[in-house]
């Protein structure tokens, strides 16, 4: 029984070491992709900020136009 437990323990250690080696082997090729992903996410956030700014300007302009239209329609006619 103890021999079987030792065998399983040894196999678990070997597999854990193999897992660590595989993780190292995959991290290296993936690191440029992670960097690219972070850069793309930053660019996406920048674009979303620009979109929000433009939407704000559009809303301000719509309010100005609405005030002008209201001012024209409510002004006394001569």
Q: Three-state SS for 29?
A: helix
pTM of the model: 0.60
What sign does the CA torsion over 28, 29, 31, 32 have? positive
Average pLDDT over residues 44-51: 99
Average pLDDT over residues 53-72: 95
CA distance 16 to 33: 26
Instruction: Give the confidence band of 78 by pLDDT, cuts at 50, 70, 90.
Output: low
The pLDDT value given to residue 32: 95
Q: Three-state SS for 78?
A: coil
Q: What is the mean pLDDT of the chain?
A: 94
């Amino acid at each position: 029984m103890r021999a079987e437990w030792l065998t399983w323990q040894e196999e678990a250690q070997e597999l854990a070491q193999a897992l660590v080696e595989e993780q190292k082997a995959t991290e290296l090729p993936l690191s440029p992709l992670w960097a690219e992903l972070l850069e793309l996410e930053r660019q996406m956030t920048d674009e979303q900020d620009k979109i929000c700014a433009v939407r704000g300007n559009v809303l301000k302009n719509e309010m100005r136009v609405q005030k002008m239209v209201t001012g024209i329609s409510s002004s006394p006619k001569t």
